[in-house]
Amino acid sequence: MAWAEKRGNSERPWRVKYMGGKLTRSGFATKQEALDWGRVQEAEARARRWNDPRKGDITVAQWIIEWSQGQDLAETTVQNYTYMIRAFILPHFGDRALSSLDALEIQAWEKGIRARGYAPSVAAKARSVFGTILGDAETAKRLASNPARKRRGRGRQDIHAAEDAEESLWLTEFEVLSAAERASMISGRPDEFVEIVLRAYTGMRGGEIRGLERKYCKLGSIRVECQLREVDGVFIKAPPKHNSRRTIPLPPFLTALMSDHVKRVPRGKCDCHGNDYVFRAQGGPHLGRTNFANRYFRPAVDGLPVPYKDRPRLPLLVNDQGRLVIRRGRVSREWMEDRAVACWRPLVEGATPHDLRHSHKTWMIGDGVPQVAQYERLGHKMAGIDRIYSHVAPEFRQQLLDGMQKRWERSLRARARKGPSSVPVLQALLEPYLGPWELSSQIPPIGGATILTMQTAQAV
């Protein structure tokens, strides 16, 4: 039976003894408040639902150390959790006892992260990680309930609607071809052209592209067996996401393109894994996710270099031979503009390399490919009864390949109408679609001005 006693003259002087006097709790303002609290503890103990409140006296920082020792997570997940804990959770709650946490306080903390200029997805991720940590504290009987748990449907729905709208980017087949051509012009080699086309026409993830070994490139197919995860600048070989090992059939054009690429890339094993990878960085074995996007893909689709400190984002310039005018040494913008005749227009501003995977999914839907074949292609698993009763028939795969081949040929015809390419690998592909060339004046001479000439093509 619980009983209370007054100790001292502070604002909260009452202490309760409960569990036969074996346990005590101080800090109550009135005698009745102390008794009520002690009786609730004894009732919970009789119902076998009682959590020893002393276990909740551990601080959040101490519990995270204890909690992390029992986690078995992927390297990228550990990296994400570590960032959220270090940047958001520990600065605000690190020295707080678990038992002192309040749901309204955590809700205000999440709102404060957004108010500091972070994206709503970052704030939601921080709360999700905190909820996972406190959920395990609840399981370990250190908390009676999880104050970071967020009920479904609560919160501002307009924030989530805005996030969904940002995920709708995808590229047409002609935009993919143009982005691949531009990326190759930036890098000065065909590897980036082949990689972007491969991503768009297979739906492979970036880590799967980086981890593609020569031995898994067969004539007419690619075997996805592993991926290279980038964790703090270190590349770790791991199974594909969700263990989605699969064989991806290739349309005829991509079979020839990959065959030429594998022959062109010299054999060689990287020092970190001892494997012969098909796609490598210039001067190094691997190119990171951010480096590929910032150096090649985003400038290609935006027509502008990526933002960097206070550097102005000026359009990328092209000379009269269709080649990119690249700043070499300490040359001025005026020097570059004197040698340029045009600049790149944006293709799909804000697109990322992962949007090529979205594009592939969109293309399959447009070509009427059955859903079960779409899931197999992307390495997803169907849910429910469809997973058991749906199978990929050979004609489904053939329908998919035929659709991809038609899209590729359509993009080449559209590109041929714009003339030849300065990228050798693309120019060889355009040859069957290009007719004779002629020089025609577009501006008549006025007052002794030089006659400007422009090359035009007759596409077939």
Tens-digit pLDDT profile for residues 405-448: 999 999 999 999 988 998 999 999 999 988 765 544 444 444 44
| 67-71, 236-240, 327-331, 413-417: range with lowest mean pLDDT | 327-331
Whether 440 maps to a domain, the answer reads no
> Do 307 and 187 lie in a common domain?
yes
Number of helices and strands (H, E) in the chain?
Answer: 19, 12
Q: Select the highest-mean-pLDDT range: 160-164, 285-289, 362-366.
A: 362-366
Contacts of 272 (CB under 8 A, 6+ apart): 235, 285, 286
Q: Are residues 135 and 129 in contact, defined by beta-carbon separation less than 8 angstroms?
A: no
Taking the C-alpha atoms of residue 92 and residue 188, their distance in angstroms, rounded to an integer, is 48
- How much is the pLDDT for 445? 44
Residues 330-358, mean pLDDT to the nearest whole number: 84
Taking the C-alpha atoms of residue 409 and residue 412, their distance in angstroms, rounded to an integer, is 5
> Do 335 and 188 lie in a common domain?
yes
Whether 78 maps to a domain, the answer reads yes
Residue that is last in its domain, among 277, 309, 343: 343
How many beta carbons lie within 10 A of that of residue 263, not counting itself?
Answer: 8
Domain range for 306: 173-343
Residue that is last in its domain, among 145, 166, 187: 166
> Do 187 and 309 lie in a common domain?
yes
Q: Is the dihedral of CA 290, 194, 379, 225 positive or negative?
A: negative
Q: Are residues 421 and 430 in contact, defined by beta-carbon separation less than 8 angstroms?
A: yes
Output the CA–CA distances (angstroms, integers) from residue 400 to 354, 374, 407, 440, in the order listed: 20, 9, 11, 42
Residue 24 or 189, more confident: 189
Tokens of 87: 């940047």
- How much is the pLDDT for 328? 62
Taking the C-alpha atoms of residue 200 and residue 197, their distance in angstroms, rounded to an integer, is 5
- How much is the pLDDT for 210? 93
The amino acid at residue 456 is T
Give the confidence band of 308 by pLDDT, cuts at 50, 70, 90: confident
Q: Are residues 52 and 25 in contact, defined by beta-carbon separation less than 8 angstroms?
A: no
**Count of domains forming the chain:** 3
> Do 162 and 177 lie in a common domain?
no
- How much is the pLDDT for 153? 57
| 36-40, 42-46, 329-333: range with lowest mean pLDDT | 329-333
Tokens of 297: 């893909």
Output the CA–CA distances (angstroms, integers) from residue 361 to 178, 380, 383, 435, 454, in the order listed: 19, 11, 18, 34, 39
Tokens of 148: 């970071």
> Do 29 and 99 lie in a common domain?
no
| 184-188, 251-255, 402-406: range with lowest mean pLDDT | 184-188
Mean pLDDT over each residue of the chain, to the nearest integer: 85
For 6, half-sphere exposure in the C-beta direction (CA atoms, 13 angstrom radius) is 8
Residues 353-361, mean pLDDT to the nearest whole number: 95
Residue that is last in its domain, among 290, 322, 343: 343
Contacts of 457 (CB under 8 A, 6+ apart): 416, 417, 418, 419, 420, 434, 435, 437
DSSP code for 367: T
> Do 210 and 334 lie in a common domain?
yes
Give the confidence band of 43 by pLDDT, cuts at 50, 70, 90: confident
pLDDT score of 61 more than 90: yes
Beta-sheet pairing, 234-238 with 246-249 = unpaired
> Do 206 and 115 lie in a common domain?
no
How many beta carbons lie within 10 A of that of residue 109, not counting itself?
Answer: 19
Predicted TM-score (pTM) of the model is 0.75
Give the confidence band of 451 by pLDDT, cuts at 50, 70, 90: very low
Residues 7-34, mean pLDDT to the nearest whole number: 84
Any idea what the CATH number is for the domain that residue 64 is in? Answer: 1.10.150.130
> Do 201 and 83 lie in a common domain?
no
- How much is the pLDDT for 437? 53
Output the CA–CA distances (angstroms, integers) from residue 360 to 84, 173, 199, 299, in the order listed: 32, 9, 8, 21
pLDDT score of 39 more than 90: no
- How much is the pLDDT for 406? 97
Taking the C-alpha atoms of residue 228 and residue 215, their distance in angstroms, rounded to an integer, is 16
Q: Are residues 457 and 419 in contact, defined by beta-carbon separation less than 8 angstroms?
A: yes
